[in-house]
Amino acid sequence: MKNVLYILVLLLITVSSCKKPMATVVYQDDLTTDNQTWLSDSTVYSVIKFDQGHYSIRVDSPNRITHTSAPYANINFPHTVQVDGTTVLDNTNQQGAIGILFDQIDSIDYTVAEIWTNGTYRIWQKVNGLNSILVDFTYNTAIQTGSGSKNTIKVIQNKSDVEMVVNNISMGIFTIPLPAQLVKTGPSVSTASALNFTPVTGLFNNFSISKN
């Protein structure tokens, strides 16, 4: 009997030692009240405010992205960013997107992981002000669609790759290395081109940054 108990204890120790370390939360904000510390790129094409218990970003011009940056700008380590978002369209027959802007070095260098109301996701990047598509529009049934759709978006930035997760379902792992510089991150809202344009409002809650 003692031998059996000893073996069970050894098995428990082995299983415990093999578990992946838990991520450590370094910043979180439920985004229900205005703490006046978030940085904004708000322009004449957008409105950013706290509205009925949500952090609200509205964009009212075609082919625009508006984002905010969390007041935690010293990210130089592998990390995970997560936010709950609701997408509201003025015209429910058109399209819009919410997402996470991450690896932001400055106003002309950053990466965006976004989900669209037609059920597609996309990852694109701006480098020295020039846009490039890293992952083109891809449909996934895990994404809730249409106006009023609610989704949880997560970006897991490792040293050499990024995993995008929506509603606890992985969209894939992509070769996007972590920049050497300090970076910032925050939620974003995007509108479609003129053909499919409608004003879009993103309502955000439960934002967090964790160290991987």
pLDDT digits (tens, 9 = 90+) for 80-139: 999 999 999 999 999 999 999 999 999 999 999 999 999 999 999 999 999 999 999 999
Q: What is the pLDDT of residue 39?
A: 72
Per-residue pLDDT of 127-155, as tens digits, reads: 999 999 999 999 999 999 999 999 999 99
Cα dihedral: 183, 168, 189, 71 (round 10): -40
Return the structure tokens found at 195.
């053909």
Could you give the domains of the chain?
23-211 (2.60.120.560)
Percent of the chain with pLDDT over 70: 87
Per-residue pLDDT of 24-70, as tens digits, reads: 999 999 999 887 778 766 566 888 888 889 999 999 999 999 999 99
Considering only CA atoms, which of 102, 103, 104 is closest in space to residue 114?
Answer: 102
Per-residue pLDDT of 158-180, as tens digits, reads: 999 999 999 999 999 999 999 99
At residue 16, does pLDDT exceed 70? Answer: no
Q: What is the pLDDT confidence band of residue 194, given thresholds at 50, 70 and 90?
A: very high
Other Cβ atoms closer than 10 A to 96: 26
Q: What is the pLDDT of residue 7?
A: 47
The dihedral built from the CA positions of residue 113, 80, 126 and 39, taken in this order, carries a sign that is positive
Q: What is the pLDDT of residue 20?
A: 52
